[in-house]
Amino acid sequence: MTLDSKGRAMAIWLVGPVFLGVAAWLATSSTSAPIPLRPASDVPRESIRPGAWRTPLKHANEAKVNGAVRPCSECHRLFGTPPEENRTLIQHKDIVLAHGINKRCLNCHYGADRDKLVLHDGTLIDFNETPRLCSNCHGTVYRDWQMGVHGKTMGSWDASSGTQQRLACNECHDPHAPRYKPLEPLPGPETLRMGDQRREEEPSKQHAPLRRWSMPSHDEPSKEEPKKENPS
Amino acid sequence: MSLRIWEGKSAGGGSDAPEMTRRSFLRTSTAVVGGMTAIAAALSPLKDLNPSEEFSLEQFIQKHYKEMTPRDMEIALDRIRREVELRYRVRPEIRDVRAKAGVEFVYALNLSRCIGCRRCVHACVNENNQSRSPEIQYIRVLEMPRGTMDMEKGDHHYDRPTVPDASHFYMPVQCHQCANPPCVKVCPVEATWQDADGITVIDYDWCIGCRYCEAACPYWARRFNFTKPEVPADRVNPDMSYLSNRPRPKGVVEKCHFCLHRTREGRLPACLEACPTGARKFGNVLDPESEVSQILKHKRVFVLKEEVGTLPRFFYYFDERYPNSIDPEAKQIALSLGYEGGADGMFGASRGGGVA
Amino acid sequence: MIAIARGYITFLIRCFRLSFVGPAPYYLWMLGLSIVALLGLNAYCKQFVQGMGVTGMTDQVSWGLYIANFAFLVGVAAAAATMVIPVYVYRNRELAHLVIFAHLFAVAAIIMALLFVVVDLGRPDRFHHMMLRFNFPISMLTWDVISLNGYLVLNLHICGYLIYCAYNRREPSKLFYIPFVFVAIAWAFGTQLVEAFLYCGLGGRPFWNSAVIAPRLVAAAFAAGPSILIIILQVIAAFTDYRVNEKAYLTLRNTARVAMCASMFLLASEAFTEFYTDSAHVASARYLFFGLDGKNALVPWIWTSITLNVTALVILFTPLTRNTRFLNIACAMIIVGVWIEKGMGLVIPAFVPTPLGEIVEYRPTLNEWLVCAGIGAFGLLIFTILVRVTVPVLSGRLAFDTPYVAPDAATPRVPEASEPTTRTA
């Protein structure tokens, strides 16, 4: 084809209108592409507050029972404490005792003066010295707590700064029911274009050493293993 | 050789193109105008660009963090203050917090205590002004079945009514501030580096968003801003620093920085403070009396993916198990090993067994 | 001095003007490419304004179609050396004048690859940061920047010099291009090597952390490159008056044959290492070939790729490929197969599962495809213009002393090896 052919002229005539058509289409179509954003999950500040989980009783005369604030000894001068285990409380029923084998109130409370706690050797301590009492049975935990390995530290990582605060045992644990109650977990991740992340079936047993010979789960009826011969 | 380059005429006197007629001129000009219009229409989305928010000359000529003079930093902080006020109507207290000498931060996490409640995740989001939509979270908590450290078996999206579940343990993962960081190696513009106190930091105003560091990290610790981050104005944390939690622009990478705006001033990271069980431990490993030093000395610590050679500054450890009466699987194991249980289900020292 | 500059500028202007002149199919072709390029530009503008969220990439799969195409294009650009080696190293004089098309193709491919890198950046407005603080030699991306730009400059020089000499009806001086050619051959391998090192130096991605990535990339590139060149040369022979020696196809076919053998061999080697060991590191490979935990978006892709590659390999070894139609089918199969293998088959699986074991699949969005198509169209546009200018120069129809002479449809001019105007070797 030579440069002056008709076909070529037609082609060039086509160029302008086609471009204008494309321009019109681009100008009228949306100037943004869709991004599948999910609405943000709002986590209440209460759930993520820093610090101690409980405010423990620091002094005996701040004890609050049935709305009234009075020292423990005021009532307990009149009413004694039976020494047996597994008692059902008549007053301050909000105290639930679930401390493992520690089922006797007077293991920790001093019978003669309810404003004090009693250590294993009979020493009396105030309510604000509870770690000393816990350490009587939970020595290993207390050792770790002293190192800073167990429990919570607030304020500063630098012990020499003066603002470091080690939380006492009963600022996390309820002394009568120390085991934490299970919590409701906060929402899991919902990242961009995550896809369907539900896990339907059990993870495969391949490459999973323990799962291959897995112990019965807590949902199945438990089977007692046959007891091995006691060498002693 | 002809001097008349404008017409492209050669010494031979002819020209490359045939003579221009009115029709051919019209033809050509329609094509040219059509082309220009089409280009302009193609570029039309650019009208949605907000120059004051997105690009400023100040930010364009801003130097790398390591080359900034104090005056440069003041200018940058002023600009950031203005941008934050404009966007969130919050007056931030933003400063440049530098590393202190004699400090090397290490994090330790007690896997016996973590219950998988995810309070650390959301405390971090709050503290560090992370985008809520699309969602960015620096910390991922994995629910791992017992008996394996293979993270593929872990579930990131567990959604139980309560935690912890007896047959799983929980492992949060965030940036480990590795001592041999692959992310720092691969950054082409040195937008990320490791500061003297061990924290791997990012200069958000220098990052070009190539995401090579995100590909290189063996712990999936880095996040990219795929759009302009969305932070609710009432949740903005005004306590900011240049290298940590100031609102990031779109198109840059971010990650956990051990809350350096808090920790470099002696405070604790937000994740640690929110943890209800005290599973998280943080401190200066150069101080032999610090918590983390004690943990490294006395506890059975390990790191993730040690074989990759990153030397993480994030250690995991287990200590005592839950009492066997609570954990039925543990009870089974104990029985099978010959421990005799008492009527109350406890296996303790009083029975002559030794399960600690 | 000024005369030389003026002469060169004249040449450039004439080339520029010539690129707007051609027969009707030329206009239609350029129109089509321009439209696709404009659509791509529009899509990229949306991405520039809104951020990378308009693509299908996520924190879990943070590199996607852009880097996949980048890997493919760097490979085929490097494979321009496959044409160059027979001519300059083995002194195959019959193909000498075709080498220039290989270099031109390399230029277009590298430009496309660089564009893919730019569109993949979250902050392309901060590109200048790379010149201010350059983490060389530690970061492999910096090596990549140097190698790609250097390769581009080398190729531009080689073909620019040869074309300009042909335009001036002057014999090119060996000193100004032979050393560069040999450097370009080595540099081509270097480019691929650096590209591979981007991936295989990352310990956190076990799928990539394998020594076989670099040889695989080179082998696949050297199979796809000649295939593309075969098709390009046929297009040039069909649409211009330039006659292409049939022997070129067979030479390129031989290179593609050997390279495809190597590529399949390395694939088999990798598959064996992964699946026979059957360790936990195999997860990414398992996801790619068989799917993982019900997620199997890539499985059809990789098996299609393997089928195409193996079939093409078999076809190439039969005498069928002496027939150009079968040769073209084999080439098309190789190009598609290698594109899938390098893109979906190399870049994406490394991100699934994530280092923390999460499985998030990657699906490119329409916007992403448009940007890729736009860059592809732009590259073809550039290549077409380069060829549009080169063919007349090599045929002697565009020279410093004559106005442009249109090709005469009746008697196509065939360049003779003895003609002084077209000697390029």
Q: CB-based contact (8 Å) between A48 and chain C?
A: no
The mean pLDDT value for A162-174 works out to 91
Query: Rounded to an integer, what distance in angstroms lies between the CA atom of residue C11 and that of residue B8?
Result: 9
Chain C's closest residue to B203, CA to CA, is C129
CB contact under 8 A, C59 and B3: no
Q: Report whether B229 contacts A117 (CB < 8 A).
A: no
Which of A26, A48, A152 shows the shortest C-beta gap to B42? A26
Residues in B closer than 8 angstroms to C135, CB to CB, are: 187-190
Average pLDDT value for residue range B124-150 = 92
Distance CA C6, CA C293 (A): 66
**pLDDT value of residue A205:** 57
Mean pLDDT of A161-189: 89
Report the candidate in C246, C212, C376 with the shortest Cα–Cα distance to residue C324: C246
Q: Which residues contact C134 (CB under 8 A, 6 or more apart)?
A: B188, B189, C142
What is the SS3 assignment for B144?
strand
Residue B350 has pLDDT above 50, yes or no: no
Q: Write out pLDDT tens, residues B230-285.
A: 999 999 999 999 999 999 999 999 999 999 999 999 999 999 999 999 999 999 99
The better pLDDT of the pair C129, B356 is held by: C129
C-contacting chains (≥3 CB pairs under 8 Å): A, B
In angstroms, rounded to a whole number, what is the distance separating the alpha carbons of residues B75 and C49?
Answer: 26
- Cβ distance of B163 and A184 shorter than 8 Å: yes
Mean pLDDT for chain B overall: 86
Nearest CA in chain C to A194: C360
Dihedral sign for Cα C327, C329, C335, C338, please: negative
Cβ atoms C18, C392 nearer than 8 A: yes
The shortest C-alpha distance from B320 to chain C (Å) reads 26
Tell me the chain C residues in contact with residue B220 when contact means C-beta distances shorter than 8 Å: 59-60, 354-356, 358
pLDDT at B142: 96
Task: Check residue B104 and give left, alpha or beta (phi > 0: left; psi -120 to 50: alpha).
Answer: beta
The partner residues of C334 in beta bridges, in order of sequence, read: none
* Mean pLDDT score, B187-196: 96
Of C58, C294, C361, the CB nearest to A192: C58
Chain-centre distance of CA C294, in angstroms?
A: 35
Question: How high is the pLDDT of residue B123?
Answer: 95
A69/B contact by beta carbon, under 8 A:
no
Q: Which amino acid is located at B15 in the chain? A: S
CB B49 within 8 A of CB C52: no
In angstroms, the CA B61 to CA B78 distance is 15
CA-based angle C336:B214:B268, to the nearest 5? Answer: 165
Between residues A128 and A215, which one has the greater pLDDT?
A128
A230:B338 CB<8 A: yes
Out of A23, A186, A190, name the one closest to residue B118 (CB). Answer: A186
DSSP per-residue string spanning A122-172: S-EE-GGGHHHHHHHH-HHHHHHHHHTSSS-EES-S-GGGS--EEPPGGGT
pLDDT score of A217: 45
User: pLDDT tens digits for B304-321?
Assistant: 999 999 999 999 998 865
Section A162-182 average pLDDT: 88
Question: Tell me, what's the pLDDT at B1?
Answer: 35
User: What's the pLDDT tens digit per position in A187-211?
Assistant: 999 999 998 888 766 655 566 666 6
In order along its 425 residues, chain C shows pLDDT tens digits of 888 889 999 999 999 999 988 888 899 999 999 999 999 999 999 999 999 999 999 999 999 999 999 999 999 998 877 778 888 888 877 777 778 999 999 999 999 999 999 999 999 999 999 999 999 899 999 999 999 999 999 999 999 999 999 999 989 898 998 899 999 999 999 999 999 999 999 999 999 999 999 999 999 999 999 999 999 999 999 988 888 888 888 888 999 999 999 999 999 999 999 889 888 778 999 999 999 888 889 999 999 999 999 999 999 999 888 888 999 999 999 999 999 998 889 999 999 999 999 999 999 999 999 999 999 999 999 999 999 999 999 888 888 888 888 776 444 445 544 444 443 43
For residue B48, list chain A residues with Cβ-Cβ distance below 8 A: 31-32
State mean pLDDT over B282-304.
Answer: 93
How many CB atoms are closer than 10 A to CB A66?
8
Q: Which residues of B305-319 are buried (b: 16+ CB within 10 A; e: fewer)?
A: beebebebbbbbbeb
Does A124 reach chain B within 8 Å, measured CB to CB?
no
Q: Distance between CA atoms of C263 and B295, rounded to whole angstroms?
A: 51
Predicted pLDDT of residue B324:
44
Placement of tokens 């029709």 in the chain: B23
Question: What percent of chain A is modeled with pLDDT above 70?
Answer: 84
Cβ–Cβ of C53/A35 closer than 8 Å? yes
Give the chain A residue nearest C52 (alpha carbons). Answer: A35
pLDDT band at B9 (very low <50, low <70, confident <90, very high): very low
Distance, in angstroms, between B121 CA and closest chain A CA? 9
Identify the closest residue of chain B to A155 by CA–CA distance.
Answer: B267
Tell me the pLDDT tens digit for each residue of A65-92. 778 888 888 888 877 777 777 777 877 7
pLDDT band at B342 (very low <50, low <70, confident <90, very high): low
Q: Do B219 and C355 touch (CB under 8 A)?
A: yes
Query: What part of A 15-44 touches B (C-beta under 8 Å)?
Result: 15-20, 22-27, 31-32, 35, 37-43
Given this model, what pLDDT does residue B57 score? 85
Using CB atoms, which residue from C9, C122, C125 is nearest to B211? C122
Chain B contacts in chain C segment 280-299 (CB below 8 A): 280, 283
Question: Of all residues in chain A, what percent carry a pLDDT higher than 90?
Answer: 28
**Unique residue bearing structure tokens 């280009």:** B39
Q: Measure the CA dihedral B173/B177/B182/B188, to 10°.
A: 120
Sorted by sequence, the CB contacts under 8 Å of residue A119 that are 6+ apart come out as A125, A132, A133, A136
Contact A203 B145 (CB under 8 A): yes
pLDDT at B325 (0 to 100): 46
Per-residue pLDDT of A84-140, as tens digits, reads 777 778 777 888 888 878 888 888 998 888 889 999 999 999 998 999 999 999 988
Distances (CA, A) of B203 to B65, B209, B248, B254, C129: 6, 11, 10, 9, 12
Q: Which residues of B touch C18 (CB under 8 A)?
A: 16
Percent of chain B at pLDDT > 70 equals 83
Q: Answer yes or no: do A192 and C53 touch at CB < 8 A.
A: yes
